[in-house]
Amino acid sequence: MTDYVKRYPDGSRRSRAADHYRWLASIGSPLLLPELRAAGRLDLRFERIDGRHARPADLTLLAAHLGAVHATAYCRELRGARLGQPFHTAGGYVIPSFTCRRMDAVEREMRSGHVLDSTLTAGQAQRLLARADGPAAFYKDANLRNFLITPAGNPVTIDFDGLTLAPFGYDLAKLVVSLAMTYGPLPAELIAGALNGYNTAVAAQTAEVPDVTWDELMNWAEIHHILTSRYAADGRYPCRWNEGRPSTRLTGPPRWP
């Protein structure tokens, strides 16, 4: 089987993606990554993985996986990180802050006309980002296309172009939104079960991180709606989050045994 080659428009983007990959590989989390076999001037060559992209039926599995990965990253390196500040890792790599670029991006997207029926104004969305506090996880764009589910049922993470600090639950919200924008509305009970699995996986490793609540998850989903609506407008997603956000209001699903 031939390797998969990811090409970049310039060397700086290639270098950032390689740095992201190396940091993710260094934290010793349950994250499954393809082997990075070579780095060229404008490309990265990875082991090719036999698998399919994520589907709604994979949400519970992937949510628990993300929770375990985020908790490991927190316990092993991100405990001292602050969401509003860049974080210098032990290996010398700098992870951008959560607010880096997102404040301007929210305002730009709200002005674009692509965002339909948001539950947040631009100002409310920016305040939500600015006030984010508490334990730090990371964001690596957990859209459904950035996971490959192998024939054995294992989730492999691919695509390392972007990485920032993020609150717990933010990457899970991106997965929920991208699934709904691809497959249509997801049952609230499915999302609640996934959130429970995420929180349970985090709690298995640390008591320092509070549960992500339903309202928090939906707030982050709304941020992703703002930031990804342009991709529905240009046809890359067939649905929009405002057409598929849960109509049922849940408040922090219980931790089931």
Per-residue pLDDT tens digits for 37-73: 999 999 999 999 999 999 999 999 999 999 999 999 9
Please check whether residue 155 lies inside any domain of the structure: yes
Token readout for 200 is 């349970």
- Cα diameter, the chain: 50
Quote the pLDDT of residue 2.
86
Token readout for 135 is 């334990």
Please check whether residue 15 lies inside any domain of the structure: no
Please check whether residue 120 lies inside any domain of the structure: yes
Residue 217: give the domain boundaries. 49-244
> Are the CB atoms for 43 and 7 separated by under 8 Å?
yes
Quote the pLDDT of residue 248.
57
Residues in the chain, overall count: 257
Q: How many domains does the chain have?
A: 1
Please check whether residue 9 lies inside any domain of the structure: no
| Calpha distance 159→231 (Å, rounded) | 18
HSE-CB for 249 with a 13 A CA cutoff:
2
- Identity at 251, one-letter amino acid code: T
Strand partners, 148: 53, 156
Quote the pLDDT of residue 244.
83
| Calpha distance 197→212 (Å, rounded) | 11
| Calpha distance 241→221 (Å, rounded) | 8
Per-residue pLDDT tens digits for 204-215: 999 999 999 999
| Calpha distance 76→55 (Å, rounded) | 30
| Calpha distance 71→238 (Å, rounded) | 33
> Are the CB atoms for 33 and 65 separated by under 8 Å?
no
- Give me the CATH number covering residue 126: 3.90.1200.10
Better pLDDT: 155 or 254:
155
| Calpha distance 150→62 (Å, rounded) | 13
Task: Name the residue among 226, 224, 227, 218 with its Cα closest to residue 247.
Answer: 218
**Segment holding 223, helix H or strand E:** helix 214-233
Token readout for 86 is 């860049």
Please check whether residue 59 lies inside any domain of the structure: yes
- State mean pLDDT over 104-130: 96
Please check whether residue 177 lies inside any domain of the structure: yes
Please check whether residue 197 lies inside any domain of the structure: yes
Structure confidence at residue 199 as a pLDDT band (50, 70, 90): very high
Per-residue pLDDT tens digits for 232-256: 999 999 999 999 899 755 444 333 2
Structure confidence at residue 113 as a pLDDT band (50, 70, 90): very high
Q: Helical H runs in 120-209?
A: 122-130, 170-183, 188-203
- Mean pLDDT, the chain, rounded, equals 94
- 239: Cα separation from own chain's centroid: 19
